Amino acid sequence: MLKKTVIGAASTAVLGSLIENSAFASAPEKPAEDNRPPAVRKIERYLTNFLKNDPRNKLVDFENATIWEAPLFAYASADDPLFEKLKTPGIVGPAHISPSEWLPGAKTVISYFFPFSEKVRSSNYADGMPSFGWVAARVKGEIYKNQAGTELLPLITSLGGKAIVPINDPRFTTDRGTPERKWTIPTWSERHVAYIAGLGTFGLNKSLITKRGAAGRFGSVVTTLELPVTQRPYSEPYSYCPHLVNGGCGACIPRCPVKAVFDKPKEEMINTKDDLICGQFYGNLLRTTPQTYHGYRAGCGKCVTAVPCEFGIPAPDTKRVAWVKDRVVQHFVG
């Protein structure tokens, strides 16, 4: 039951200055002097063009909107000791599989971020229920993103390497453990892998904030190709989230319709968002409104849209009061 609805300060006006438009015009991103190995250039060009030209990157049931803008890439050494650290309980967990366990002889993990298009993101700016465009993009885009990884495999073979896409492998599973546990433990966490590869750092809402923001999804390929490793431009897991650095921002807290993002910084990121409440919201509420969402069922994404980390890295001095003070939050009970 909807208990109370008072839409907060207009998010779209504030966000206008934060948003860049379609990224395909400038894709693929390259350094000023592109001295990367040909294999890297081929991989990035292939995946970027795949998104740009493939009709499956359009939402036919949402104004033919583009789902994914141009991807970001980063490369981790398969031997990076942080992969073993992911097995630590409370980080990901013992079930997490390291690159050389996925693929013996693995040398590199190719990690990529697909940002949602401006049209999809902006459709979700109003407080409350997720937009149809967001939910459709989240569901169809996820399937398509996972397929995109598989599309890279023949190219990697032609370059002389072996590769697998962990999320498409039968060994990929997610486990809730006990009903009380508020988060799932996957055998491969794309966000943690992206952190290791240098794509971004974690936010209060447990998203990973990249230079193209947090409103998107991550994928990866483990390969025996030896590719240059990306130097992480940060040294700790929360550098890009002002709330977790200095108590600023906090815009994702009132954005959540079910109060699953907590109003305080915590040492452990697993405690800053209640995945159980989040999952129940989109699992139950969206399932009860199939006519609105055409049967699609996915995360509502309010905590990564109409917030300063939506499409970029927030300014370190982003003030919390400016975002939260005059907002009354829509929430659901029952």
Chain contacts with ligand SF4 (rule: CB under 6 A) = 203-205, 241-243, 249-252, 255-258, 260-261, 273, 278, 281, 299-303, 307-309, 314
CB of 77 to ligand SF4, least distance (A): 28
* Alpha carbons 220 and 120: distance in angstroms, whole number: 23
CB of 32 to ligand SF4, least distance (A): 29
Residue indicated by tokens 């169809």:
140
Q: Nearer Cβ to ligand SF4, position 28 or 186?
A: 186
Cα of 124 vs its chain's centroid, Å: 16
Q: Nearer Cβ to ligand SF4, position 106 or 278?
A: 278
CB of 303 to ligand SF4, least distance (A): 3
CB of 266 to ligand SF4, least distance (A): 12
Question: Nearest-CB residue to ligand SF4?
Answer: 203
DSSP per-residue codes, 98-161 = PHHHHSTT--EEEEEEEEBPHHHHHTT-SSSSPPHHHHHHHHHHHHHHHHHHHHHHHHHHHTT-
CB of 313 to ligand SF4, least distance (A): 8
Q: Nearer Cβ to ligand SF4, position 71 or 308?
A: 308
CB of 200 to ligand SF4, least distance (A): 11
What the block records as the tokens of 331 is 């929430």
Q: Nearer Cβ to ligand SF4, position 95 or 322?
A: 322
Alpha carbon distances (Å) from 47 to 57, 111, 139, 211: 12, 12, 20, 19
Amino acid at 126: A
* Alpha carbons 260 and 135: distance in angstroms, whole number: 18
- Sorted by sequence, the CB contacts under 8 Å of residue 255 that are 6+ apart come out as 127, 261, 302, 303, 305, 306, 307, 329
* Alpha carbons 287 and 297: distance in angstroms, whole number: 7
Q: Nearer Cβ to ligand SF4, position 26 or 280?
A: 280
Q: Nearer Cβ to ligand SF4, position 77 or 201?
A: 201
